[in-house]
Amino acid sequence: MIFRIKNIIKVSALGILLSSQASVANEAPLVSITAQDAYFNNIKQYCGKAFAGKITVDNAPSSSFSDKALIMHVRKCSDSELQIPFHVGDDSSRTWIITKTGSGLSLKHDHRHKDGTSDESTMYGGHTLDAGWPQVQSFPADQYSKELFVRLGIPQSNGNTWQMYIYPEVFTYRMVREGREFRVDFDLTKSITPPKAPWGYKD
C-alpha cells in the first residue's frame, strides 16, 4: 500500500513538472532575426488597414490584372503570422501569408476558389535565405513550389523570387525571374475602406 502511494505521488509530481515545462515552452519568445523582426513589425503596424495599388512593371501583361482595382489588406496579424489578402477587381482568391519560422521568414500564396476550396495552384512561395533588411525581404521559390510548378507544366516558374518592400509611403510586391518581372506598388499614405474577407476566410 505504501509503495502504491509513493508511485502515485511520483506520477503526480511528474505531471506537475511536465505541465510547468509546457507552460514555459508556450511562453518562450519566437526565435528570429533582428532585421526580419523589424520588417515584420513594419508591415504589422498597418494591421486592419487596406491600400490601393497599381502595376508599375509587367513585361508580360495579363488580362487578369488589366483595368482592375488592386487592393492589399493587412487583415489579420499575430506575433508569428501576417495574412494579407490581395484583391484584384472582384477576384478575392489571393492571400499572402508571411510567417516567422524560427530560421527566417516564409511567404506563401494561398489561392482559393469562390466556394472556399483550395485552388490546384496554392501555397506556393519561398523562404528567406539571409537576414535581408527591415525594408526588404526576398523569398526564392522553395522545394514544394518547384515540384508544384513542374506538376502544373510551368517549370519556368522554378526560378521565381518574390520580393516585398515596405517603406513609409509605399508597399511593393514584386515577382522576378529570368525574362519576367511583375511589380505592384501600394500607396501607404492613404488607407481605403477594407474589402470583405477573401474567399475561404471568415469576416
> Residue 199 falls within a domain, yes or no?
no
In the chain, which ranges are E strands?
Answer: 50-58, 70-73, 76-77, 81-88, 91-100, 105-111, 124-127, 136-140, 161-166, 170-177, 180-187
**Same domain, yes or no, for 18 and 43?**
no
In the predicted structure, residue 2 carries a pLDDT above the cut 90? no
In the predicted structure, residue 5 carries a pLDDT above the cut 70? no
**Any idea what the CATH number is for the domain that residue 152 is in?**
2.40.128
Domains contained in the chain, number: 2
First and final C-alpha spacing in the chain: 58
What is the predicted pLDDT for the residue at 61?
Answer: 86
In the predicted structure, residue 1 carries a pLDDT above the cut 60? no
Q: What's the length of the chain?
A: 203
**Same domain, yes or no, for 57 and 150?**
yes
**Same domain, yes or no, for 10 and 41?**
no
- Helix/strand/coil for 195: coil
Tally Cβ neighbours within 10 Å of residue 61.
10
**pLDDT tens per residue across span 71-91:** 999 999 999 999 999 999 999
What is the predicted pLDDT for the residue at 29?
Answer: 56
**Same domain, yes or no, for 25 and 38?**
no
> Residue 148 falls within a domain, yes or no?
yes
Q: Which three cell numbers stand for residue 203?
A: 469576416
In the predicted structure, residue 182 carries a pLDDT above the cut 70? yes
**pLDDT tens per residue across span 45-68:** 999 999 999 999 999 988 888 889
Range of the domain at 9: 1-29
**Same domain, yes or no, for 101 and 145?**
yes
